[in-house]
Each structure stands twice: as C-alpha cells, then as structure tokens.
Amino acid sequence: MANLGDRFRDLGRMDTMGSRESGLHRLDPRAKVLATAAFALAVSSFGRYEVAGLLPFMAFPVSLAILGEVPGGYLLKRIGLALPFVLLLGVLNPVLDREVLLQVGPLPITGGWLSFLSMALKLVLTAASAVVLVAITSMDGVCQALERLGMPQVFVVQIGFLHRYTFVLVEEAARMLRARELRSNGHDLTHREFGPLAGHLLLRTWDRAQRIHQAMLARGFEGEVHLLRRPSFGLQDALFLGAWCVAFLVLRLVNLPLLMGTLVSGGAQ
C-alpha cells in the first residue's frame, strides 16, 4: 500500500518538475522536442557494434538534467525501468554471435557482447532523454509541441488523456488496496484475489474516467487542451535547437573517444 502511494507521488513529481520557471523550462516546447528527436535519431543511427562513439552523447541528457534541476536519483530510477527490456531483447546476443571482434589485453570481446552493450547504451540514452524532456517541459507542454508540429489533434489528446488516466488508475488502486487491508485483518493478497481486484479496478477507473469526461464536456471541452501560457519560437529557442543539432552531427561524424585515444597514444610515443 505504501509502495503504491509512493508510485502515485512519483508520477505527480514529474509534472511538478515540469512547471518550474528556469530558463530551460521557459524555452519553447517545440525546440526541446525537436532536439530530443534529433538526439534519438543520431543515437539510433550507430551500427550494432558501436559502443565508444555513443558515450559522448551522454552530455545531452546529463546537461539538461543539471540545468533543469532534475534529481540524479530520480533520473536513474526512471531509467532503471527500461533495463528489463534490454535484458529481454539482447540476452541471446552473446550466445548467438561469438566472433571475436576486439581484444582488450588478454580478454577477447565477441560481437555478441558488443551488440548487447550497444543496444543497452542506446536504450538508456533515449530513455534518459525522454524522461528529462518531460521533466523540463511537462506532459502538457510535450503534447502542445506535438500538436503545433503537425501531429493530428486526436492523437495528441489521446496521449494527454493516457497520461492523466495513469493517475486515475493508481489513485483507484490505492483506494481499493486500502479498503482491502482494513477488511482483511492483515492477511496478504492471494493469487485468487488478484483477478477480481484487477477486474474491479478497471471498471472503477473506467467509470471514474467517464465522470471526468462528462465534467469536461459540461465545462465546454471541445477536443483541445488550452494552456495558460502559449510560448512563441524565438531566438533563444533557435539557438538551443541549432547548437544541439550541430553537436549531434559532429559527434556522429567524429568518433571522439577514438580520436582522443589516438592523440594520447601518439603523444606517448
């Protein structure tokens, strides 16, 4: 029960961070969404065995997290949710691809391990950039940016509602578990109870969502979410987007760790 309550507060914390008033938060959401999309495109364009070239791309989510005052522990916690998918997708790579591609001292590194590390690093980088984007923009800001960039309004509204429905789902689950604990005399939840509880949870959240939607219609909702502030794309936004796009292009074309290693080894000789 306490764990579920912590999850509920954790969800709300993202919106709280997105409503701050720092210089990074005040940038047009379109600039931040486009920069994040360019980052994801650059990261995903690397080959399956590339690892070193991806490391400098950590500068993007780390610098935005620092400037946006996103707690490091919170960021690592959210990224950790993506790690099981890495294991699921790449656990067989070291078994299927055993060709040795790299020798680190006496240790041979096979293509399977390189592809696994590359996949894991790509997923961690993109997950970190997505978490930081929402934390410095808010989900409403991201939806607004997607709509102004040309995404159909119906999809934008569905994304926003899906985000809000998560709060309804967790809140109703917390109420049901609290009521069960008060009536169960301290007994743990059994497998036989889980099915009916899950079914009732979906029915309760569906009914609650319907009431919320009816209330929105009664207040004049017509399919568009209006925000109090509608930022305009200015010089600072263009500089932010342009600087990061140039940085991504340079990091994609130049393997910085390899170049630095070559310079160091050449200087040592």
Confidence at residue 125, expressed as pLDDT on a 0 to 100 scale: 92
Distance in angstroms (rounded) separating the CA atoms of residues 209 and 49: 46
> Which is more confident, 162 or 223?
162
The total number of structural domains that make up the chain: 1
Report yes or no: 120 and 86 within 8 Å, Cβ to Cβ: yes
**Per-residue pLDDT tens for 216-263?**
888 887 766 666 666 678 889 999 999 999 999 999 998 887 777 777
Residue 196 lies in a domain: no
Confidence at residue 217, expressed as pLDDT on a 0 to 100 scale: 84
Residue 94 lies in a domain: yes
Distance in angstroms (rounded) separating the CA atoms of residues 87 and 199: 30
Task: Give Cβ neighbours of residue 43 (< 8 Å, ≥ 6 apart).
Answer: 54, 57, 122, 125, 126
Residue 181 lies in a domain: no
Q: What is the mean pLDDT of the chain?
A: 81
Report yes or no: 7 and 174 within 8 Å, Cβ to Cβ: no
Residue 124 lies in a domain: yes
Distance in angstroms (rounded) separating the CA atoms of residues 122 and 54: 8
Provide, rounded to the nearest whole percent, the portion of the chain with pLDDT above 90. Answer: 19
**Per-residue pLDDT tens for 180-218?**
777 777 677 777 777 778 888 888 878 887 888 888 888
Confidence at residue 1, expressed as pLDDT on a 0 to 100 scale: 44
First to last CA, the chain: 63
Confidence at residue 2, expressed as pLDDT on a 0 to 100 scale: 44
How confident is the model over 37-57, as a mean pLDDT? 91
Confidence at residue 6, expressed as pLDDT on a 0 to 100 scale: 55
pTM: 0.79
Distance in angstroms (rounded) separating the CA atoms of residues 15 and 68: 13
Helix (H, G, I), strand (E, B) or coil at 100: strand
**Per-residue pLDDT tens for 76-123?**
888 887 777 777 777 777 777 777 777 777 777 787 888 888 888 998
Distance in angstroms (rounded) separating the CA atoms of residues 28 and 230: 9
Residue 49 lies in a domain: yes
Q: Give the E-state strand segments of 28-127 in sequence order.
A: 100-104, 107-110
CA 184 to chain centre: 38
Residue 213 lies in a domain: no
Residue 204 lies in a domain: no
Q: Which amino acid is at 71?
A: P
Range of the domain at 236: 19-138+227-254
164 class by beta-carbon count within 10 Å (0-12 exposed, 13-18 middle, 19+ buried): middle
Distance in angstroms (rounded) separating the CA atoms of residues 54 and 108: 21
For 66-95, b/e burial (b = at least 16 CB within 10 A) is eebebeeebbeebbeebeeebeeebeebbe
Provide, rounded to the nearest whole percent, the portion of the chain with pLDDT above 70. Answer: 86
User: Which tokens go with 114?
Assistant: 């390189």
Q: Given phi > 0 = left and psi -120 to 50 = alpha, else beta, which region is 135?
A: alpha
Q: Range with the lowest mean pLDDT among 4-18, 19-33, 124-138, 145-159?
A: 4-18
Residue 60 lies in a domain: yes
Beta bridge partners of 103: 108
Distance in angstroms (rounded) separating the CA atoms of residues 42 and 44: 6
Q: Which amino acid is at 122?
A: K
> Which is more confident, 162 or 266?
162
Q: Is it the case that residue 5 has pLDDT exceeding 60? A: no
Q: Nearest-5° angle of CA 136, CA 20, CA 239? A: 50
Q: How many CB atoms lie within 10 A of CB 25?
A: 20
